[in-house]
Amino acid sequence: MKKTLLFIIFCFFNFNSSIALIKVDITRGNLDPLPIAVSPLHVDIKSENLEGLKVKELGNNISEIIERNFKNTGLFNPLKKEAFVQKPDIAHIKPRFEDWRLIKAQALVTGKLLVKNGKLKVEFRLWDLTASKEITALAFTTTPSNWRRVAHIISDKIYERLTGEEGYFDTRIIYVAESGPKNQREKKLAIMDQDGANTKYLTLGNELVLTPRFNPTNQMVTYLSYFRNMPRVYLLDIETGMQEVVGNFPGMTFAPRFSPDGKKIIMSFAEDGNSDIYTMDLETRIVERITNHSSIDTSPSFSPDGKYIVFNSDRSGLQQIYVMRSDGSDVKRITFDKGIYGTPVWSPRGDLIAFTKMRKGRFYIGVMRVDGTGERLLTENFYQEAPSWSPNGRVLVFYRETKSGKKGEGFSAKLWSIDITGYNERRLNTKTDGSDPSWSSLLSK
């Protein structure tokens, strides 16, 4: 994964300081998405042909990925290409703003690409059609097989320019790919681009695997495996495929996550019927016990500054959410509403905690402030849980299971996402059924 990060950004056009008139507000549900025209990138006729890559179609394909990314945000309305009035190469040099405004576009993306000497050179420009000027431009060079990532990086740059927030398109999602009947599921670790492309399986399905989570640099994954029928937390290097058991615990370890600096794994260890929270330092191998209570303490998640841990515990009788300092002191219950709460995850922005709530036989994904106030339930369903944050803290991905019939027929598990505004709920594109999604950070950061 690391090697694909070799992007050379060779020039940054100097228009960055100009003021855009268009702006997309992502803090509320957007019922009036910004009309944007994504012109196909012009393919330079001097481009070489490459085996396994249709260079001529690359300009179109990149623009389509950008469009799909934008459409999926719910914040943008990519306009139909049939209505486009200018050829891609000319539009890229100097768009006729009034023509683009005529088809009701407010922003325009143009670009061109060249494949030469085994390298892919891409440049793009973002035009503010209301102010009639270029507001962002960027060019970079990479290996041609990286073309999908080029599309995602362009999407991120444009999203950033128009919303003022970091994007989340050049990211991956790791999850558990599921197949087979409900009472005999085969589960494998799978990784894919955020848009569902490039699915790769990291385990073979010989043993049950659950709850994979990325480290902050996205090169390592921690997860639960039933290898040799011993449920233990594992650490996997995605690049090398090397894996190891985390710690030397005499019983089940589960619910692992990385600390925000990536140096520790926090998890639960179950002994004699009691689950408590522990950390292990990956370098020194020092294990620390964080909670010591006769109740179930699990699903721990660090605050982004590493100072606090949110977790769930049934010490009050039923599952509720608690926050404590990272040394285990100062435990405070933060959920008091009717219903039970699980899977708390701290937002990467630090401002919110996402959770699963169960009440009267229904399952909700929600967010609340870190002191438990301001609870907002975003989606209700028969069964859904395990939210994971987009790196910009604006979108949650989670999984949903359907109600099944007598023999388990009609059962499915799918990945879904929803904006924290409560809008834009949509199903993610996965090759198989999926569960336990975990969103990476931005790959090209």
Binding site for other proteins (CB under 8 A): 181-183, 185, 208, 210-211, 224, 229-231, 251-252, 254-255, 268, 270, 272-275, 296, 298-299, 312, 314, 318-319, 340, 342-343, 356, 358, 361, 382-383, 385-386, 401, 403-408, 411, 435-436
Q: Which is nearer to other proteins, 152 or 257 (CB)?
A: 257
Q: How far is the CB of 175 from other proteins (least distance, A)?
A: 13
Q: Rounded CA gap, 45 and 112, in Å? A: 11
Q: What residues contact residue 342 under an 8 Å CB cut-off, 6+ apart? A: 299, 312, 319, 321, 355, 356, 357, 358, 385
Q: Which is nearer to other proteins, 107 or 190 (CB)?
A: 190
The nearest distance, CB 406 to other proteins, in angstroms, is 5
Select from 388, 433, 352 the least CA-distant residue to 173: 388
Question: In whole angstroms, how close is the CB of 96 to other proteins at the nearest point?
Answer: 55
Q: Of 168 and 341, which has the nearer Cβ to other proteins?
A: 341
Q: How far is the CB of 156 from other proteins (least distance, A)?
A: 31
**What are the φ and ψ backbone dihedral angles of 182, each rounded to 5 degrees?**
-55, -40
**CB–CB of 245/234 below 8 Å?**
yes
DSSP calls for 317-365: SS-EEEEEETTS-S-EE---SSSEEEEEEE-TTSSEEEEEEEETTEEEE
Q: Least distance (Å) from other proteins to the CB of residue 118?
A: 46
Q: Which is nearer to other proteins, 149 or 213 (CB)?
A: 213
Residue whose CB is less far from other proteins, 117 or 229: 229
Distance in Å, CB of 259 to other proteins, minimum:
18
| 22 torsion bin: left (phi>0), alpha (psi -120 to 50), beta (else) | beta
Measured from the CB atom, the residue of 89 and 186 that comes closer to other proteins is: 186
CA-based torsion, 239, 243, 247, 252: positive or negative:
positive
State both tokens at 359. 């009440």
Residue 114, SS3 per DSSP: strand
Query: Could you give the residue ranges of the DSSP H alpha helices within 74-215?
Result: 88-93, 97-102, 147-163
Best CA proximity match to 198, nearest among 157, 170, 168 = 170
Q: How far is the CB of 327 from other proteins (least distance, A)?
A: 22
Instruction: Give every CB contact of residue 154 below 8 A, 6+ residues apart in sequence.
Output: 62, 66, 109, 111, 122, 124, 138
Max alpha carbon distance in the chain (Å)?
73
Cβ count near 15 (within 10 Å): 13
The nearest distance, CB 215 to other proteins, in angstroms, is 19
CB 67, min distance to other proteins, A: 35
276, 268 contact by CB (below 8 A)? yes
